[in-house]
A = this chain, B = another copy of it.
Amino acid sequence: MRSAELNAMSYLTRSPISVDVLVAEVSSSACGGTCLFLGTVRNGRDEQGVTAIEYSAYEDMVDAEFGRLLADARGRWPEARIAVRHRLGTIPVGEASIAIVAAAPHRAQAFEACRYVIEGVKQRIPVWKKELRVDGSEVWVDPAGHPTAKPSHV
């Protein structure tokens, strides 16, 4: 089953994400601004005793959809250089589940491209998460109370 393999060409990883590697992937002497977004597992006011989140995905589609999403972003910001990595598996509180980096000649492009990609991830990339709680319970996360909403681009 191909989806079980996370190879070097994938946007997915089961290891901690290296910000340095990702920044190096996009760095260029033509780029003066780099914007990085890190999504990290949270145990905050809105959560109840979360110790970790287990991320799973429709892995082949994640790669296909990331390819389309990044192509969309590059169409909008042709000078931007963008890299992204989404981690799967059990991720403890405080560690990153996703990193997106966009480098561009000017900072506005870098910010906008990075923000565009994370918003696209939230809408389009088929990844799911299950909260693992201190009491041993497990809860699928249903974001934003829109359980059957379709992504707006469909």
**Chain A residues proximal to chain B, CB less than 8 Å:** 19-20, 23, 27, 29-46, 93-94, 105, 107, 110-111, 114-115, 118
Contact = CB atoms under 8 A, between A and B. Distances in A.
Contacts of A114: 35, 111
20 contacts: A19-B20, A27-B40, A27-B94, A29-B43, A30-B42, A30-B43, A30-B44, A30-B45, A32-B40, A32-B41, A32-B42, A33-B39, A34-B37, A34-B38, A34-B40, A35-B35, A37-B110, A39-B107, A42-B105, A111-B114
A33 to B, nearest CB: 6
Given A94-B27, A107-B118, A39 B32 contact: yes
B111 A37 contact: yes
B32 A44 contact: yes
